[in-house]
Structure 1
Amino acid sequence: MNLRRAGLTGAVALTAVLALAGPAAAHAEVEADKAQALAENVTLTFVSEAESASGGFREVRVVLPEGIAPADVSLGKAPKGWSLKVTDDGYVVGGPALKTGVDAEYEVRVRQLPDADEVAFKTVETYSDGEISRWIELPKDGQEADQPAPLLKLKAAAPGATPVAPSPSASPTPSPTPSAAASTTTATADASTAAEAGEKKDDDGSSTGLLVGGAIAAVLVLGGGAWWLTKRRASATGG
């Protein structure tokens, strides 16, 4: 009798444990084809387990760990119609909503993993019915988190492995270009030419003025001489 009661009690306890563990079973995970620090061209596979009873996954947002730049991530395999959009601190993968109960699985390619023992990818999942699941907590004091972020443990870097140069985030401010300098030179030359043309014009004007003045003086001289000659002839005739 006591054994039977003990068995029933154990079965009830086990059922209760399973019932409590059921809702927390859904989670997000990450795996890598090369889980090693400073490994290059690594493919990461993410799986978000469906937990909504009324909607399917619409998008998954990931915050990248320190050492992985958003510009160094590209989308690999993904649900049909889904695409990747880079954000300031990570990326968003999404598209047409998946069927209710279907897990969201996709791959991204990373240029290089950081030099660390483990890296966390905080994940926020959005369903078509508006439900949001946040897998963003990190282990603390050796205790497992209630909503753990996908965690990837890395082996030590290979001998001689070094960090690659970071992807350019912005173009440097350009220095004055040869064309600009040439334009400046051309403008200066044009200004000089215009000045010279003005001086030449002034010179031409002065020369023309001198010629006109000389012509007028000559006319006056000739007129005065003609008048004097006429008067002299008149005097001689009268005499």
Structure 2
Amino acid sequence: MPFVPHARRLGALAALSAASVLGLATAASAHVTANPKTAEQGSYTKVAFRVPNEHGNASTTKLVIHLPVEHPLASVSVRPLPGWTAKVEKSKLPEPMKAHGGELTEAVTTITWTGGKIEPGQFQEFDVSMGPLPADTDQMMFKADQTYSNGEVVKWEEAPADGAAEPEHPAPSLRLLPKGDAQTAGLTANVKPTAEAAPDDGTARLLGGIGIAAGVIGIGVGGYGLTRARSRS
């Protein structure tokens, strides 16, 4: 007879674990991110800013991406997105920089998308081609402002700290690897749009699958305990 409560505890524990894993998967996929995660220093690349709508009853209606002025880019172009209007703004640089054999005195510092909607439970990707990427840093951060239809603005602008937990609102970032690094093979401007599931989506789906499997196992354990208890009575 003591097997019944024990089995129920196992089932409850498994279900709780499943819910926790699913919660982690949802949280991990809810940030505004830059994809791919890495690119080669000095190269041209296409970055897709992936914007999920994590609000339960409001749509995302505006996105602002801030390009780092400390690492200005000579070339920035935006892929047209049906339903959305992109506004590219330039700012004067504190100091001129050499580019394409000449001198660059201003660079794109913000890109603003408006006019469209990302409904709850959906996401959208905003593609930007940029380069040449700086060779004097190993990371670029792109602070982002996500505006909802109810007026709420979420600022994704926190920098990750080494050895610390991920901040609540991390800024989309691009890790820059040394030229010729094997890990950056193919991550240049001719990369095709991410029609397939990206690493972030795959990880979230894997974690979700693990959570569902854990819940099924918990239900099975609880059912087995009840059946065994009844056969003994």
Do Structure 1 and Structure 2 share a fold, with TM-score over 0.5?
yes
Alignment of 1:39-78 (within 5 A): 39-40=43-44, 42-65=45-68, 66-69=70-73, 72-78=75-81
C-alpha distance in structure 1 between counterparts of 2:50 and 2:151, whole Å: 20
Partner of 2:14: 10
1:154 alignment partner, SS class: strand
Deviation at 1:23, TM superposition (A): 5.3
Partner of 2:134: 114
Find the structure with the greater CA-based Rg: 1
C-alpha distance in structure 2 between counterparts of 1:78 and 1:24, whole Å: 25
Instruction: Specify whether residues 82 and 125 from structure 1 end up closer, same or farther in structure 2 by C-alpha distance, changes over 3 A only.
Output: same
Aligned-partner residue type, residue 6 of structure 1: L
The 8 Å contact of residues 73 and 108 in structure 1, kept in 2 or not, is answered as yes
| TM-score, normalization by structure 1 | 0.56
C-alpha distance in structure 1 between counterparts of 2:34 and 2:88, whole Å: 19
Number of aligned positions between the proteins: 157
Deviation at 1:37, TM superposition (A): 0.5
Aligned-partner residue type, residue 36 of structure 1: E
C-alpha distance in structure 2 between counterparts of 1:30 and 1:11, whole Å: 33
1:138 paired to 2:159: yes
Structure 1: unaligned runs, 5 residues or longer: 160-239
The 8 Å contact of residues 84 and 116 in structure 2, kept in 1 or not, is answered as no
1:53 alignment partner, SS class: coil
Q: Deviations over 1:209-234 (max 9, x none)?
A: xxxxxxxxxxxxxxxxxxxxxxxxxx
Deviation at 1:113, TM superposition (A): 0.8
Partner of 1:82: 85
Alignment of 1:160-175 (within 5 A): none
Which structure shows the bigger proportion of residues in strand conformation? 2
The 8 Å contact of residues 83 and 116 in structure 2, kept in 1 or not, is answered as no
The 8 Å contact of residues 56 and 97 in structure 1, kept in 2 or not, is answered as no
1:9 alignment partner, SS class: helix
Deviation at 1:51, TM superposition (A): 1.6
1:127 paired to 2:148: yes
